[in-house]
């Protein structure tokens, strides 16, 4: 159990990659704090994990609301005494071509995907600095590296996440805190699978393995990067795309 007794906070934890990551970290012995704005779904998933004996807690959380984040961090530290791992997984899409994209669509995606990462990390890093130890893992995307038609807001937000990651790795590496990003390709989450079949077929064909990725395959990378096995990996943006960009 590579993460035994580590305390991990995961945002966007009620579904998809976030939920898979919660399960994977808990399998490795971590105490996992599940955070999500989807209160009802979060509670349902927490109850399932609690019932099978996993050490999990849940906090309804909007990553755009700094007072709520500060309150969550205070509660976690009071209850568990530390925060060892932060996984900034929360994210949204509001796709449109540039000529049709509204200010609301652009700002909403930026506020969650980029400012949310800033908010949560700034709130948690003070705890890690006192510990002289910690791991921050940020959800970017293959789209954040190479762009995508109709996703200029999402692409910009995820490109920005890589910039935050590399800057923070420089700032905090000397203090024992590693910061890395994960860049998934097309992953078969509940939301993605709502796309019409012809769209899914194009996604599969863009990957050299001719399939969508699984949430568990991304969660495995998060678990590795959170562990001491990745102790010399800092400032990296790791693609999990099945060779999509080859």
Residue 154 catalytic? yes
Is the predicted pLDDT of residue 193 greater than 70, yes or no?
no
Q: What is the pLDDT of residue 195?
A: 62
Is 149 within a domain? yes
Q: Residue 128 has which token pair?
A: 């890690």
**Tens of pLDDT, residues 90-148:** 999 999 999 999 999 999 999 999 999 999 999 999 999 999 999 999 999 998 888 88
Range of the domain at 96: 7-187+216-229
Q: What is the pLDDT of residue 13?
A: 97
Place of tokens 């509660």: 75
**Tens of pLDDT, residues 60-96:** 999 999 999 999 999 999 999 999 999 999 999 999 9
| Cβ pair 209, 240 in contact under 8 A | no
Q: What is the pLDDT of residue 192?
A: 60
Is 207 within a domain? no
Is 237 within a domain? no
| Cβ pair 134, 83 in contact under 8 A | yes
| β-bridge pairing 134-139 and 7-11 | unpaired
| Cβ pair 9, 84 in contact under 8 A | no
Average pLDDT value for residue range 197-225: 81
Q: What is the pLDDT of residue 89?
A: 97
Give the active site residue among 46, 59, 154, 159: 154
Is 162 within a domain? yes
Is 234 within a domain? no
Average pLDDT value for residue range 217-222: 97
CATH number of the structural domain spanning residue 36: 3.40.50.720
| Burial class for 46, CB neighbours closer than 10 Å (0-12, 13-18, 19+) | buried
| Cβ pair 10, 89 in contact under 8 A | yes
Place of tokens 């500060």: 70
Is the predicted pLDDT of residue 245 greater than 90, yes or no?
no
Could you tell me where the DSSP H helices lie in the chain?
16-27, 39-51, 66-80, 103-110, 116-131, 142-146, 152-172, 197-205, 215-226
Task: Please count the structural domains in the chain.
Answer: 1
**Tens of pLDDT, residues 170-180:** 999 999 999 99
Is 204 within a domain? no
Indicate the SS3 state at residue 72.
helix
Average pLDDT value for residue range 8-26: 97
Is 165 within a domain? yes
Q: How far apart are CA 156 and CA 85, in angstroms?
A: 25
Neighbours of 47 (CB within 10 A): 11
Q: How far apart are CA 32 and CA 10, in angstroms?
A: 7
**Tens of pLDDT, residues 22-50:** 999 999 999 999 999 999 999 999 999 99
pTM here?
Answer: 0.94
Average pLDDT value for residue range 199-211: 69
| Cβ pair 87, 10 in contact under 8 A | yes
Is 240 within a domain? no
Q: Which residues pair with 180 in a beta bridge?
A: 137
**CA nearest to 93, candidates 141, 61, 42, 136:** 141
Q: What is the pLDDT of residue 1?
A: 86
Average pLDDT value for residue range 189-203: 65
Q: What is the pLDDT of residue 243?
A: 84
């Amino acid at each position: 159990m590579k993460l035994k007794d580590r305390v991990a906070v995961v945002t966007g934890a009620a579904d998809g990659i976030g939920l898979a990551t919660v399960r994977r970290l808990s399998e490795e012995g971590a105490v996992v704090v599940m955070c999500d704005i989807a209160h009802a779904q979060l509670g349902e998933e927490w109850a399932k994990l609690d019932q099978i004996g996993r050490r999990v807690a849940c906090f309804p959380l909007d990553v755009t609301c700094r007072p709520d984040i500060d309150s969550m961090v205070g509660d976690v530290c009071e209850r568990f005494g530390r925060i060892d791992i932060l996984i900034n997984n929360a994210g949204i899409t509001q796709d449109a071509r540039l000529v049709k994209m509204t200010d609301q669509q652009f700002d909403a995606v930026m506020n969650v995907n980029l400012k949310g990462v800033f908010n949560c990390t700034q709130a948690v890093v003070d705890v890690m600095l006192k510990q002289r130890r910690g791991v921050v893992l940020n959800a970017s995307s293959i789209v954040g590296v190479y762009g995508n038609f109709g996703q200029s807001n999402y692409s910009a937000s995820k490109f920005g996440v890589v910039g935050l990651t590399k800057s923070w790795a420089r700032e905090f590496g000397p203090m024992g805190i590693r910061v890395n990003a994960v860049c998934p390709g097309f992953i078969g989450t509940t939301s993605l699978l709502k796309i019409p079949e012809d769209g899914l077929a194009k996604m599969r064909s863009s990957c050299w393995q001719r399939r969508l990725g699984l949430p568990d395959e991304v969660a495995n990378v998060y678990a590795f990067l959170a562990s001491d096995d990745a102790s010399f990996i800092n400032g990296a943006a790791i693609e999990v795309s099945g060779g999509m960009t080859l």
